[in-house]
Structure 1
Amino acid sequence: MFACSLRCELLASSPSSWHATVSYHSITTSDQLLELCDSLDGARIIAFDTEFVSEDRYEPELCLLQVCDGKENYIIDTLSVEDVTPFWQKLVSGDHVTLVHSGREEFRFCLSAVDRFPGNWFDVQLAAGMVGMEYPAAYGTLCSRLLKVSLGKGETRTDWRRRPLSQQQLDYAAQDVLHLDNLYGELTRRLEKLDRRSWFDQEMCDWLKNQESQFRGERWRSVSGTGSFPARILAIVRELWHWRDEVARSTNKLTRRVLRDDLLAELARRKQGDLKRIRSIRGMDHRHLQPHLQDIAAAVQRGIDLPEEECPQPLRSNSIRQRSSLCQFLAAALNAHCRQSRIAPNLVASMQNIRELVALRLDNLSLENGETPQLAQGWRKDLAGDLLDGVLEGKIAVQVEDPRAEHPLALRNRQETPGE
C-alpha cells in the first residue's frame, strides 16, 4: 500500500481567499513505486515535475519526482527508492498525454534513464506563449492568470538532498503538478479557439527533436570561442573536450571546474603538446590542474597527430550582414503583429531569425546547414514570414496608431493606408 497520504494546504486567490486541502501519496519504497506504475495503466494524463540539485555536479541529482494522474497526486522520494526506472518506462509507454511546465530537465532525465521520451508531450509554458501570454511564463503566473490560483513561494533555494524534508517543502513540491491538468484543459481550449493546435503540435515536435539532438549530438562543438577554428585545431578541441568530460564524469564535477572553456580553446589554438609551453599559458598554473598536465599534453598531441581525413570539419558559416536599423524596424513590426494576433513575439522569432530572413531575401543566403530560415517555413511563415516579406517589399506599412497605447504600432496594406 502507499504510504499514508499527507495533507497539503494550497491558497487559491479569490475575493474570500479560501484554502483547499489536497492529499498526495508519499512513495518511498520500490514496492510502492511499482504499485504506482500499475495504477497509471490507462491514465488519461500523467503530469510530472522534478526537484533536483545541479550545482557542482557533472549530472543533476534527482531528489524528488512529483506525479499526478488527474485523480491522485504522488511524491516519489528518489533518494529513498533504489531505482525509479519503472516510472520512466511507464512514462514512455501508453497513449496518455505527458504534462510538464518548462520540461527541459524532465525530458533529459527521462531520455537518460530509458533512452526514449514520451510521444504525447505537452508543455504548458509553450502552449501559453501560443495563445498570447508572455513566454516563457512561470508556473505561478500561468496558475494565477488562467486559473485564478495563487501558489505558495519560499522554497526555490531548498537543498532537496537534505532529509528529512519539512512539510512546507513537500507542500511546495506537490503544488508543482497539482494544477497542470487544469492548465492543460484551459490552454487546449484556447489553442483550438485560435485554430493553433496544429501549430503547437509542430512546435512541440520540433522542440523534442531539438532537445534529443542536443542530448545526443557533438557536444564538444559547444565549447565557446571555437566556432571559427580550422579542422586541425578543432581536432585538438575535440580531444581535450573528451578528456575533460571523462574527468568531470569520474569525479562528479562540473566540466568548467575541471578546465575552463577559454583555457581549452587557448590550448587548442597554440597546438603545442610540450609541457613547458602548456605551463606558460596564463591560468594553467592553478593547483587543481597540476596533476592533469601530462594527460592534457597527451590529448593535445593526439589532436596534432590525427590524420587529416579524420579531423572534424568546421561548420559552414555564412557571413550575414547585421543591417541593424532594418532588422530593428522589422522586429517592431513583428512585435505589433504578434500582439494583434495574440501570440508571444519572442516565441515567433528572435532578432537572429529576422536577420536570417533578411539575408535570404536580400542576399540569397541560406543557413549554415543549408536549411530555410524559420520565418520562411511552417506556421511562422503563415503567421509572420509573409507579412515581413510584405514590409520589405513596401506592400505593408507600419504606422503609429495610438502613441499613448502600450502597443502603439499597427500594420496596414498600403492601399488601406490613409493618404495613399
Structure 2
Amino acid sequence: MWPWSRVSLTGSPSGENWNTPTEEPSFMPCKGDAASISWIDTDADLREAVDRWASFSSIGVDTEFQRTDTYFPQPGLYQVAAGDQVYLIDPLAITQWQPFVDALLDESLTKIMHACSEDLELLHHHLGVVPVAVFDTQLANAFSSTDYSASYARLVGGLLGVELEKHSTRSDWLRRPLSERQMEYAWEDVIYLQAIYERLASALDDLGRSQWFADAMVDRGSFVRTPPDQYYLGVKKAWRLDTQALGRLRGLCAWRERQAIAEDVPRKRVVWDEHLLSFAQSDALTEREVAQLLPRGVARRYASDIVREHSALLTESPAAEPVARPLTQSQTQVSKRLREIAGACAASLEVAQELIGRKRDTDQCVRHFLHTGELSDTYRGWRHGLVGGEFRAVLLERL
C-alpha cells in the first residue's frame, strides 16, 4: 500500500517556503514520507488551495490528459506541488477556474514544468490561457548538460538520486475514481519539480547561462495554434504542386481542419494528407473519384463536401504562399557546414548540438538567407553571439 493521505485544506501550508532557487530544499520527497495529497473537486477547495500557493514563489505544475479519439486534448487531471503538498485538481468536477487561471498568469509565481509544450496546449484549449513565468526543467537541463531531451525520470534519478518506478503510459485519466497507482504516478510526476528546479537554476547561474535560458523560454513558453489556412505548408510533397493545385490544397486542408475542430476528432479521422494532396491535383473532381480513394464510411460522410469545396476552389482560389522546396545538393552541404560549426560550439560549451543547431534549424537558416540575406529568427537571439558571425560568413561565401 503506497502511503498517502487525503488532507484537509484548513491550517497553514506544510513545509517551508522555497523562495530562493539556489538554496537547498528543506525536504526531499520520498515515498516513505507521510506525503500530503489534497484532492480538489469543489470550487471552494480550489479557491482555498490557490490562496495557499500565495505564500510560495514557485510551484510545480503537471497535467494528465487523453487524446486518442479527439482533436483537442481532454483534461483528466491537473497536479500542483507547493512545498511538500501535492494538489490533484479534478477538471471533471471544477466549474469555476478563475482562481487557477489567476495563478497561472501571476508573473511573481514561477510555474515549474517539464517538457511543457503539450501541457501548454491543454491549458490553452481548456482554460483559454498560456501560463507565464514558466521554467521548463527539460530545457534548463539542456543548457547545463549534453542531454537535450532528458525525461523527467532521468532528471529525478540523475539530479536527486531517486529512481522512479516505471508506469504504463496507457492510463484512463477520465475514469473516476482514480486508482491508487494513478495517484502514485500523479504524485511522482510533480513532487520532485521544485528540487530539480533549484539545482538547475543554480547550475545555470554558475554557468552564466540564465539569460540564454530565459530567452529560449520565450519561444518554449508560448503556444500558437497553426491557423487552418496554414496547415498545407506542412503537407509532405506539397512543394511539387503548381500554383493552382497548391491553392486548392490550402483550401482543402483548411476545410479538413475546420471539420476536425467542429467534430473534435483527429484530422486523419476526416481525410488523410495524401488524399487531399491527390484531390488538389485534379482539375475536376467527382464523388465517384473521391470514393475510390477513401474508406467507404469516410467517403459516405465527406465525399459530397469535398467535391463541393473543390469546385468552389476551382473558381475562387487565392494564390497560396509557396511551400519550401528541399534544399539542393550544394545548399545541403552549406547546411551541413553550419551544423559542424554548431557542433563545435556545443562541444566547447558541453551541451548537446541540438540546442545550437538541429538540421531543421540550419536548413531553415539557409532558406531564409537565400530569400532575405539575413539569418533566420533562430539565430538572431542568444545563439547569434555564439555562431551568428561564423554562420553569416559561410552563407555569404557559399550561397
Letter paired with 2:224? E
Q: Which of 244, 249, 256 pairs up with 1:237?
A: 249
Give the aligned partner of residue 14 of structure 1. Answer: none
2: distance between equivalents of 1:230 and 1:375?
Answer: 30
Contact 1:132 1:343 survives alignment (8 Å) = yes
Contact 2:81 2:190 survives alignment (8 Å) = yes
The offset of 1:237, in angstroms, is: 2.3
* 1:105 and 2:87 are equivalent in the alignment: no
Give the aligned partner of residue 356 of structure 2. Answer: 348
Contact 1:43 1:96 survives alignment (8 Å) = yes
Give the aligned partner of residue 80 of structure 1. Answer: 93
2: distance between equivalents of 1:196 and 1:315?
Answer: 36
Contact 1:153 1:172 survives alignment (8 Å) = no
Contact 1:272 1:278 survives alignment (8 Å) = no
The offset of 1:142, in angstroms, is: 0.8
The offset of 1:374, in angstroms, is: 5.6
What do residues 217-248 of structure 1 show as CA deviations (whole Å, max 9, x unaligned)?
Answer: 83343333324434432332233223323432
Tell me whether 182-191 or 228-237 shows the greater mean CA deviation. 228-237
1: distance between equivalents of 2:185 and 2:385?
Answer: 41
Give the aligned partner of residue 218 of structure 1. Answer: 230
The offset of 1:378, in angstroms, is: 3.0
2: distance between equivalents of 1:193 and 1:391?
Answer: 33
The offset of 1:375, in angstroms, is: 6.9
Q: Which of 313, 320, 338 pairs up with 1:312?
A: 320
Give the aligned partner of residue 264 of structure 1. Answer: 276
Give the aligned partner of residue 67 of structure 1. Answer: 80
2: distance between equivalents of 1:80 and 1:62?
Answer: 11
The offset of 1:108, in angstroms, is: 1.3
1: distance between equivalents of 2:170 and 2:159?
Answer: 26
Give the aligned partner of residue 274 of structure 1. Answer: 286
Q: Which of 296, 302, 310 pairs up with 1:300?
A: 310
* 1:288 and 2:291 are equivalent in the alignment: no
Secondary structure of the residue aligned to 2:238 is coil
2: distance between equivalents of 1:216 and 1:288?
Answer: 21
Q: Which of 132, 135, 156 pairs up with 1:143?
A: 156
2: distance between equivalents of 1:368 and 1:115?
Answer: 36
Secondary structure of the residue aligned to 2:172 is coil
For residues 356 and 244 of structure 1, do their structure 2 counterparts lie closer, same or farther at Cα, with a shift above 3 Å needed? closer
Contact 1:143 1:150 survives alignment (8 Å) = yes
Contact 1:129 1:136 survives alignment (8 Å) = yes
Contact 1:107 1:117 survives alignment (8 Å) = yes
Secondary structure of the residue aligned to 1:212 is coil
2: distance between equivalents of 1:116 and 1:324?
Answer: 40
2: distance between equivalents of 1:368 and 1:286?
Answer: 45
* 1:5 and 2:7 are equivalent in the alignment: yes
TM-score, reference length from structure 2? 0.81
For residues 217 and 383 of structure 1, do their structure 2 counterparts lie closer, same or farther at Cα, with a shift above 3 Å needed? farther
The offset of 1:303, in angstroms, is: 1.2
Contact 1:316 1:369 survives alignment (8 Å) = no
For residues 267 and 89 of structure 1, do their structure 2 counterparts lie closer, same or farther at Cα, with a shift above 3 Å needed? farther
The offset of 1:71, in angstroms, is: 4.8
Secondary structure of the residue aligned to 2:171 is coil
For residues 321 and 25 of structure 1, do their structure 2 counterparts lie closer, same or farther at Cα, with a shift above 3 Å needed? same
Contact 1:233 1:303 survives alignment (8 Å) = no
What do residues 80-131 of structure 1 show as CA deviations (whole Å, max 9, x unaligned)?
Answer: 3345454234311342111110001111122224443233111010000001
Tell me, which stretches of 5 or more residues in structure 1 are unaligned?
7-16, 395-420
For residues 328 and 94 of structure 1, do their structure 2 counterparts lie closer, same or farther at Cα, with a shift above 3 Å needed? closer
* 1:377 and 2:380 are equivalent in the alignment: yes
Q: Which has the higher contact order (CA 8 A, sep 6+)?
A: 2
For residues 327 and 277 of structure 1, do their structure 2 counterparts lie closer, same or farther at Cα, with a shift above 3 Å needed? closer
What do residues 19-47 of structure 1 show as CA deviations (whole Å, max 9, x unaligned)?
Answer: 33421111122222222223333531132
The offset of 1:299, in angstroms, is: 0.8
Contact 1:108 1:215 survives alignment (8 Å) = no
Select the structure of larger CA radius of gyration.
Answer: 1
* 1:177 and 2:185 are equivalent in the alignment: no
For residues 23 and 133 of structure 1, do their structure 2 counterparts lie closer, same or farther at Cα, with a shift above 3 Å needed? farther
Letter paired with 1:233? A
For residues 247 and 323 of structure 1, do their structure 2 counterparts lie closer, same or farther at Cα, with a shift above 3 Å needed? closer
Tell me whether 188-197 or 221-230 shows the greater mean CA deviation. 221-230
Give the aligned partner of residue 41 of structure 1. Answer: 54
Tell me whether 342-351 or 77-86 shows the greater mean CA deviation. 77-86
Secondary structure of the residue aligned to 1:184 is helix
Aligned residues: 372
Tell me whether 297-306 or 88-97 shows the greater mean CA deviation. 88-97
What do residues 158-214 of structure 1 show as CA deviations (whole Å, max 9, x unaligned)?
Answer: 1222222211211111111111111111111111111111111111112334x3264
What do residues 343-363 of structure 1 show as CA deviations (whole Å, max 9, x unaligned)?
Answer: 221111112434556x48xxx
Tell me whether 286-295 or 35-44 shows the greater mean CA deviation. 35-44
Give the aligned partner of residue 131 of structure 1. Answer: 144
Contact 1:230 1:313 survives alignment (8 Å) = no
Contact 1:103 1:123 survives alignment (8 Å) = yes
State percent identity of aligned pairs: 26
1: distance between equivalents of 2:168 and 2:346?
Answer: 35
Give the aligned partner of residue 91 of structure 1. Answer: 104
